[in-house]
């Protein structure tokens, strides 16, 4: 097996693109997202609660899935019902074409525009 690999100069852009794609697959710890809850799902036979947040990730609107405990799910349900903005923090991870926010912590839920300071909920801890 060779111990040294050589590339031609014209391979540079290809290698840069490959490196960028690999970096984009790394988990992003303590990522802050703001968006709107677009979907809620709860399995009555387990403690799992799932919410999908529409948020901007890397400059594009994406669907990000969160698995949360009951208290956070209640908070997200209120936000969904009122079409309110929410602020979430967690470990953002990409699985193929899907995004997931691991260890989510629901921060602030805004009743309307986050800039006007009108909020009706604050912080819940991640599901264990």
pLDDT at 2 (0 to 100): 62
Question: If you average pLDDT over residues 6-34, what whole number do you get?
Answer: 79
Q: Report how many domains make up the chain.
A: 1
Q: Is the pLDDT of residue 125 over 70?
A: no
Which residue range forms the structural domain that includes residue 50? 29-124
Q: Confirm whether 20 is domain-assigned.
A: no
Question: If you average pLDDT over residues 93-107, what whole number do you get?
Answer: 87
Instruction: Give the residue with greater pLDDT, 22 vs 49.
Output: 49
Q: Confirm whether 88 is domain-assigned.
A: yes
Question: In the chain, where does DSSP find H-type helix?
Answer: 12-24, 70-81
Q: Confirm whether 39 is domain-assigned.
A: yes
Q: Confirm whether 11 is domain-assigned.
A: no
Q: Confirm whether 8 is domain-assigned.
A: no
Nearest one of 98, 103, 108 to 66, comparing CA atoms: 103
Q: Is the pTM of this model over 0.85?
A: no
Query: What's the distance, Cα to Cα, between the start and end of the chain in Å?
Result: 46
Question: If you average pLDDT over residues 5-20, what whole number do you get?
Answer: 81
CATH number for the domain including 62? 2.40.50
Q: Confirm whether 116 is domain-assigned.
A: yes
Whole-angstrom distance, CA of residue 2 vs CA of residue 21: 26
Question: If you average pLDDT over residues 22-28, what whole number do you get?
Answer: 65
Q: Confirm whether 101 is domain-assigned.
A: yes
Q: Confirm whether 5 is domain-assigned.
A: no
Instruction: Give the residue with greater pLDDT, 71 vs 54.
Output: 54
Question: If you average pLDDT over residues 28-49, what whole number do you get?
Answer: 88
């Amino acid at each position: 097996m060779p111990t040294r690999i050589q590339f031609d100069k014209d391979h540079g852009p290809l290698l840069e693109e490959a490196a960028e794609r690999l970096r984009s697959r790394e988990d992003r710890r303590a990522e802050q997202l703001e968006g709107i809850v677009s979907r809620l799902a709860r399995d009555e036979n387990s403690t799992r609660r799932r919410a999908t947040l529409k948020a901007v990730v890397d400059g594009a609107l994406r669907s990000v899935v969160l698995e949360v405990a009951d208290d956070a799910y209640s908070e997200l349900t209120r936000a969904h019902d009122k079409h309110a903005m929410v602020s979430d923090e967690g470990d953002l991870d990409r699985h193929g074409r899907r995004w997931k926010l691991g260890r989510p912590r629901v921060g602030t839920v805004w009743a309307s525009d986050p800039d006007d300071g009108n909020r009706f909920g604050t912080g819940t801890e991640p599901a264990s």
